[in-house]
Structure 1
Amino acid sequence: MVSKLVLAHGKDWLLPGDTSDLQLLHSDCSDQLLVCPPHLGRGYFQEILLKDDLALVILDYTLNQDVWVDLLNESSFLEFEFQLVGPGAGYSFFIPHFGLKEFGVKRLQRRLFKIEVVFKQPLLVTYFQAFMERLSPQTRYIAERVIQTIYLHLHQRERLILTTSEMLNRIVQSKDAVDSHLTLERILPESLYSETIAFKYVNRNPITSVMQQVIGQILSCPYQGEIRRAYLERKALKLVSLQLEMLIQRRLNESKLNYICQAASILRNQITHPPAVEALAKQVGTNRLKLNQGFHKLYGTTPFGYLQDCRLWQARRLLMTSNLSIGEVSGAVGYTSCSRFATAFRKKMGINPKSFQIQTY
C-alpha cells in the first residue's frame, strides 16, 4: 500500500506532540514537537528554534507503509543534514530548497534518524554562498547557471544585470506566487539539468569522527532554557563549519584527480552510448584500476554506478516533462531492456516509472 501526501510544507503530514514525550533525548517547553500519525508509522520531529533564521531539527521515525510525497515548498530554506540511521546513514548532505515543487517516496520499514541544521533568511544566503565558495570552479559554474536560470524564470519581466549573490537574494525573497507545477526539472534545460548530477555527489560527504563527537554532544545536551539554546546554537554552527571544511578537501581531491572528473563528464554526456571502462580509462590517460579507484574516492561508486545514476537522473526529468512512453524513456537514457530500466528506477526512486510519471507529469 502507498499513501499519497500533498503538502505545502514538509512537516504538514505530522500531528502535534508533547515535549514531555519519553521518546525525546532531551526537550524544552519552547521546542516544537510533531509526531508521526499512527496509521503511517511511529516517531517524531523535534524543532528547536535557535534564532529567527536558524533551527536545529531532530527526526526519528519509521513508516509502516510507503508514502508518496507531493510537496510545494512555500518558502526557501537551506538544510545541512546529518543522517545517523537510514538510506544515507553515515553521510552529511547540503540540501537547498528554493520554493519549488518536489516529489519523493518515504520508504516502508526504514527507520530515519537524523539531525538537520536549517537556515532561513538572512543566514540562508550567507551559508549558501559559503558553500559555493568551496566548490571547484567547474561545479561552481554549474551552480551559478542554475541560480541564473531559476532567477530568470521567476523574474521574467526584469532586465537587470545582477551578480549571482544578488540573484540568489531575489529568489529567496520572492513574494510571487509559485506555479503549482514548477519544478527544477521543468525550469532547467536538458543540457544544464544533466550537469546537476554533480551536486548529488558534492552534497554528500562522510560524517567524520569529529562530526560524530559534536552530534553526540547535541543529542545528550544536559542544559535547559537559554543556556541550552546557546549551547545548541554553537554546536549546530560547528557541525556546519565541519561540513563546509569537507568541501575544501573534496576540491583538493578533484584537482588531483582531474582525469576522473573528465571521465565523469564523458559519461554524463554519452549516457546512451558510453565507452567501455577500458576505453574510458584510455581516453582520460589512465588504466582500469586507477579509474575505478578514482571513482570510488570522488563519487563513492564505480564508473558503471555513476553512469546508472546519470541515466536515472535524466529518466526522472523525461518522465516529469515529456509524454514519452516508459519504453521510449528507457531507450532515451541508454537502456536496452525496459524491465531492467524499471527495476533500476524503482530501486533508486522507490516507485516504478509508470507510477512516477502519472504522479508527476
Structure 2
Amino acid sequence: MTINITVYDFWNLRKAANPELLIDPIHPEDYLCRYPQELGKGYYRWIPMREGIIIEIFDTYLPQPIKWITHAHHQKSLEFGFILAGSGQDCDGQPKKSGEDYIFGGVYPQSNNNIDGAGNLRWVSLIIKPETLRTLIESYGEQVPSDLEKAIAGVPEYFNLRPSLITPAKQVALQQILHCPYQGLTRKMYLESKVLELVSLKLADQVAAPTEKLLRLQEIDRIYHAREILLRNIGNPPSLIDLAQQVGINEYTLKRGFRQIFGTTVFGYLHDYRMEQARQLLLSGQMKIEQIAQIVGYANRSHFATAFKKKYGVNPKAYQMQKNI
C-alpha cells in the first residue's frame, strides 16, 4: 500500500516530531531532524559549510512507498544529489535509482509523480546557491557548463539534468563525508574539500557530453547486465569478447557503453571496483592482506600492493595500520 501525502502535511508532521532544534553533541555545527514516525524512521542531518553551501544527509527506513503530492514551488538553490540506497520516481516522472547522482532545481511543477519506494532510503545532497557555484567555477578560470548556465543565472525553470553513475571516485568521497574522523575546524575544511571534489566530478559528467551516438535503452540494459557479470567474477573476469557475447552486443558497443555510462573502460571500472572492495576489507581488519588480494583478483600480493598504492598513495599494510590507529 502506498501512502499519499502533501508536502505541507509532511512539514507539519516533521515539525511535530521535532518540537525543538536538535544539535549533535559530538559535532555542534550539525543540525539533526527526526523523520516523522507516522511515515518511517530515520533522520536528516544538515552540515552548514561556507556561505551558500550545505551538506544534507538523509537516512531513513520506509515501511511503505510514499507518493508526494506537491504544488509548484521555486527552489532557488541547486541540489547535487547522490542516491546511495533506495529508488522511486521524480516529480517529472523520471526514475530515481540507487547508485545514481543528479542536479536539479528551479521551479518544481505541480505533481503527484514523486515517489519514494519502500525500504532503506539514503542519500547525500549538496545544496549550493547559484551565485556560490558561479564564484567557485570562475575562481578557477573556467566557464559555467552550458546546461547549467540558465540555472546559475537564476532563470526559474525546472531542470533535472540527466543522471550519471556514482563512480568509485565519487563513492570514496561520499563515504569520507559520512565517516569523517575529524572535529572542529579540521572537520569543516575536510568536508568542504569533499564537497568541491564531488562538485568537480559531477560537473565533469556534464561537460564531457559524448560525441558518439547515444546508447539505445536496450543497449543500456545490456551494459548494466555486463557490469553485473563483471562484478560477479572479479577474480576471473571474462574477456571483452566473451562479455559482449554473454549480454548480446558487440565488443565496440560494450566499450562505448562503459565509456558513456561509467566514464571509464570496462577493465578500468573493474580495477576501481577491486580497489574499493580491497579498501573496505582492509578497514574491517578481519582478513590478512594475502586473503584480500586473492578475493579482489590478485594472485600476487606484490602486484596487489603496487596497484593499491598507485590508487590511494599508500601501500595496503600502511593503510590498514593508519586506519586502525
TM-score by length of 1: 0.49
SS in 2 for 1:80: strand
Inter-partner Cα distance in structure 2 for 1:103 and 1:122 = 31
Is the 2:24–2:32 contact (alpha carbons within 8 Å) kept by the matching residues of 1? no
Deviation at 1:101, TM superposition (A): 3.9
Aligned residue type for 1:208: T
Match runs of 1:226-245 below 5 Å: 226-245=185-204
Question: Is it true that 1:222 corresponds to 2:158 in the alignment?
Answer: no
For residue 318 of structure 2, what is the aligned residue in structure 1?
none
Deviations along 1:276-318, whole A, 9 cap, x unmatched? Answer: xxxxxxxxxxxx8589655676469xxxxxxxxxxxxxxxxxx
Correspondence for 2:62: 63
> Aligned with 2:153: secondary structure?
helix
**Structure 1, unpaired ranges of 5+:** 22-26, 135-139, 145-163, 173-182, 185-195, 265-287, 301-361
Q: 1:36 to 1:81 in 2, by over 3 A?
A: same
Is 1:64–1:108's contact at 8 Å kept on the other side of the alignment? no
How big is the shift at 1:54? 0.5
Q: Does 1:117 align with 2:126?
A: yes
After superposition, residues 155-234 of structure 1 pair within 5 angstroms as 169-171=153-155, 203-234=162-193
Structure 2 Cα separation of the partners of residues 168 and 230 of structure 1:
25
Report 1:41-80 matches (<5 A): 41-72=40-71, 73-80=73-80
1:1-361 to structure 2, matched below 5 A, reads 1-7=1-7, 14=14, 15-16=17-18, 18-20=22-24, 28-72=27-71, 73-87=73-87, 88-98=97-107, 100-124=109-133, 133-134=144-145, 140=146, 143=147, 169-171=153-155, 203-249=162-208, 251=209, 254-255=210-211, 257-258=212-213, 260=214, 289=250, 293=254, 298=260
Q: Is the 8 A contact 2:81 2:126 kept in 1?
A: yes
How far the C-alpha of 1:11 sits from its partner, in A, is: 6.2
CA offset digits 1:68-120 (Å, max 9, x no partner): 21234343121111221123222222222335545444345321111111112
Q: Deviations over 1:181-240 (max 9, x none)?
A: xx95xxxxxxxxxxx8xx66xx32222222222222211112223332222112111111
Higher relative contact order (CA 8 A, sep 6+): 1
The AA in structure 2 aligned to 1:77 is S
Tell me the distance in 1 between the aligned counterparts of 2:116 and 2:152. 33
Distance 1:57 1:5, change over 3 A: same
Indicate the SS of the match to 1:233.
helix
Contact 1:77 1:98 in 2 (8 A): no
| Alignment partners' CA distance in 1, 2:111 and 2:10 | 10
Find the residue that maps to 1:241 and give its secondary structure. helix
Deviation at 1:61, TM superposition (A): 0.9
Distance in 1 (alpha carbons) for counterparts of 2:8 and 2:129: 17
How far off its partner does 1:12 sit? 6.3
Q: 1:116 to 1:290 in 2, by over 3 A?
A: same
Instruction: Tell me how far apart the structure 1 counterparts of residues 111 and 186 of structure 2 sit (CA, whole Å).
Output: 37
Say what the alpha-carbon RMSD is for the aligned residues: 3.9
What's the CA shift for 1:10? Answer: 8.5
Question: Which of the two has greater strand per residue?
Answer: 2
Distance 1:101 1:242 in 2: 31
Task: Work out whether residues 81 and 114 of structure 1, in 8 Å CA contact, stay in contact via their aligned partners in 2.
Answer: yes
* Contact 1:9/1:74 (8 A) holds in 2: no
Figure out how many residues of one structure are paired with residues of the other and give that number: 215
Q: Counterpart amino acid of 1:240?
A: V
Change (3 A) 1:20 1:67: same
Query: Structure 2 regions of 5+ residues with no counterpart?
Result: 88-96, 218-248, 263-325
Alignment partner, residue 179 of structure 1: none
Report the identity percentage: 21
- Contact 1:62/1:108 (8 A) holds in 2: no
- 1:170 positional shift: 4.7
Distance 1:8 1:33 in 2: 20
User: What is the alpha-carbon distance in structure 2 between the residues aligned to residue 18 and residue 67 of structure 1?
Assistant: 25
